[in-house]
Amino acid sequence: MSEAAVVVTGVEKVFGRGSAGEVTALSGVDLTIEPGEFVTLIGPSGCGKSTFLRLIGDLIEPTAGSVDVFGKSAHQARLDQDYGMVFQHAGLFDWRKVAANIELPLELKGWSKAERTARSREMLDLVKLPDFGGHYPRQLSGGMQQRVSIARALSFEPRLLLMDEPFGALDEMTREHMQGELLRIWRETGTTVVFVTHSISESAFLSNRVVVLSPRPGRIHSIVEVDLGERTEDTREDPEFFRTSTEIREALRAVEDGS
């Protein structure tokens, strides 16, 4: 029996407990994610998607329940550096050149200079920016910076990739291109991905499963299975793609209507 990548059991997260501004961001959440799976979280703004992701990544702790990652606590998984994270804003360090940004996690893991250089070069090829290692982040467009940020997250081959609206700030064309790139990288590396988005088509195109969250308090409303096989650009015109998108859209409508 292969152990699950992520097991979330009865998780609740209350912010500011006991204060006037007490918010129950998540309540009674159970979810199991298999290794190599691509799972997307979708739901209205403020329903707790980022909170969910941050709980898995042990950036915050649940007020009840438990999060296990690769058979250990989320905390241990973080200490073992199992996570790669990508946020909505690329969050590159502007005093470091692009290559040095990608090498940051490797530096922290104590890789040698030669190993780091070799790896950052590989990663730059992977995200199709082979000539930009010597540039500073602000010399790159938003989309290019986001690709660097993905390269940085992938550079040390994390077992679990957590992505919070990484393509939110991109235009439609760049976004679709990046989705293709991400899937290619995901297939090549076999990593597990938990991905947060607001976009229905993005969730349908990328994932094996789409988790629809309902707000106040955040709960799992439903889970949509996606069966689109190998994605190509034609997938976006596939009837099955439309059917899946419709299913997700209806779930979201139901959520918005408060059922």
Partner 1 sequence: MNGRRVLRMTLTTFLAMVLLVVLWEGYKWVGQQTGDRVPGTDIELRVTTDDLTMPHAKDILAELVSDIRDGRNTLPMSVYLLKKAWFTLQEAAIGFFLGLTVGLALAVLMLRWRVVERGLLPWINVSQTIPLIALAPIIVTWGRINDLPDLFSISLIAAYLTFFPVAVSALRGLQSPNVADVELMRSYAASWGTTLFKLRLPAARAYLFPAFKIAATLSVVGAIVGEISIGTKTGLGRAILEFAQRYAVFPERLYASVIGAAALGLSVFGLVSLVERIFTGRTREVVA
Ligand X SMILES: Nc1ncnc2c1ncn2[C@@H]1O[C@H](COP(=O)(O)OP(=O)(O)OP(=O)(O)O)[C@@H](O)[C@H]1O
> Which residues in 187-216 contact Mg ion (CB under 5 A)?
none
| Residues 92 and 101: beta-carbon distance below 8 Å | yes
Q: Which does 85 bind (CB under 5 to 8 A by kind): Mg ion, ligand X, partner 1, none?
A: partner 1
- Candidates 74-82, 116-124, 169-177, 246-254; binding stretch for partner 1 (CB under 8 A): 74-82
48, 84, 133, 137: which one binds ligand X (CB under 6 A): 48
Q: If binding is defined by CB under 5 A, does position 50 make contact with Mg ion?
A: yes
Provide the minimum distance between the beta carbon of 194 and Mg ion in the complex, in angstroms, as a whole number.
13
Q: If binding is defined by CB under 6 A, does position 25 make contact with ligand X?
A: yes
Q: Which does 119 bind (CB under 5 to 8 A by kind): Mg ion, ligand X, partner 1, none?
A: none
Q: If binding is defined by CB under 6 A, does position 119 make contact with ligand X?
A: no
35, 36, 65, 91: which one binds partner 1 (CB under 8 A): 91
Whole-angstrom distance, CA of residue 252 vs CA of residue 148? 32
Q: Which is nearer to partner 1, 38 or 87 (CB)?
A: 87
Q: If binding is defined by CB under 8 A, does position 16 make contact with partner 1?
A: no
Q: Which is nearer to partner 1, 70 or 83 (CB)?
A: 83
105, 133, 143, 215: which one binds partner 1 (CB under 8 A): 105
Q: Which is nearer to ligand X, 47 or 255 (CB)?
A: 47
Q: Which residues bind ligand X (CB under 6 A)?
A: 15-16, 23, 25, 45-51
